[in-house]
Amino acid sequence: MLPVLSTHLFLKQRLHPGLLETAARCGAQGVEIFAARQHFDYTSREHVSELAGWFAFNELQPWSMHAPLWPDREMGRAGAPAVNLVHAEKSRRIDAMDEIKRALEVAEHIPIQKLVVHLGENFDSFSMRLLEYATTALEHLGAFAKPLGVRVLVENLTSDFASPEHLMTILDMAHLDQIDVCLDLGHAHMAPGVAEAISIFGKRIAELHIHDNHGVRDEHLWPGDGTINWTEALGAIKALQNPPAAVLEIGYNLEDAPGEIPERIQRAFENIS
């Protein structure tokens, strides 16, 4: 599995080459850039150019980008609405699509290969109406991403609508063969279970989000600090025909001592290899 570090770990900081160098020194071969404006300002030509220049002369891959969840620099704390591709209001769906496309245009300068997107929010239940909205959004994003050399991945969430079973229903019913899956192991641990999620998604899994929790809430802990059975999970993952990228997606609010973070990253990659 390709070891990839999500910059979600550094979400409180501006993403700069020093953080990318830290990822490379700790064993990552790629990064997933988390598109939050206070961290990575995808609307800033200067910020995008700074990172594009670094990637051009270094071996670390800009493997993927996580689509924005909020359109502001405060992650909604000042009242901005969430980026929601399946919102009941058409204007909100259009705004969400525009925001994600704005971030995706970064691929013209930074050669990301994948875009990870969320469908809806944690309280959403499955319905034919949301299925229609999701199908339209994924078709549109897939068509927009293809000329940029990017493949869209849809991530399982903790909601009923974005469960592994219902995401596969969406992909199969709409014949969305150009869309693959990012399997979030922490979300799957909460429901329906990691092994079952792997079984449901199977060959559609192109990437994993690796973090831990205690099965109740989305804590984004280091692997081994929660209750996921990693021996069982890694065994099921290694049985897949095509090994997915392993993206370490650790919480930015765990308050690890800065000096301990590089060692924890390196140890996590060693434990999941």
Q: Which CATH class is domain 3-272?
A: alpha beta
65 forms beta bridges with: 33, 115
> Minimal CA–CA distance to 10: which of 249, 264, 207?
249
Beta strand 245-248 pairing with 151-155: unpaired
How does the average pLDDT of the chain come out, rounded?
97
Whether the CB-CB separation of 112 and 100 falls below 8 Å is answered with no
Whether the CB-CB separation of 9 and 209 falls below 8 Å is answered with no
pLDDT digits (tens, 9 = 90+) for 87-96: 999 999 999 9
78 has a pLDDT exceeding 90: no
Whether the CB-CB separation of 247 and 114 falls below 8 Å is answered with no
Structure tokens at 162: 């974005």
Structure tokens at 272: 């999941």
DSSP E strands: which ranges in the chain?
3-6, 30-34, 61-66, 114-117, 151-155, 180-184, 205-210, 245-248
pLDDT digits (tens, 9 = 90+) for 199-237: 999 999 999 999 999 999 999 999 999 999 999 999 999
pLDDT digits (tens, 9 = 90+) for 115-168: 999 999 989 999 999 999 999 999 999 999 999 999 999 999 999 999 999 999
Mean predicted confidence (pLDDT) in 79-106: 97
The gap between the terminal CA atoms of the chain, to the nearest Å, is: 7
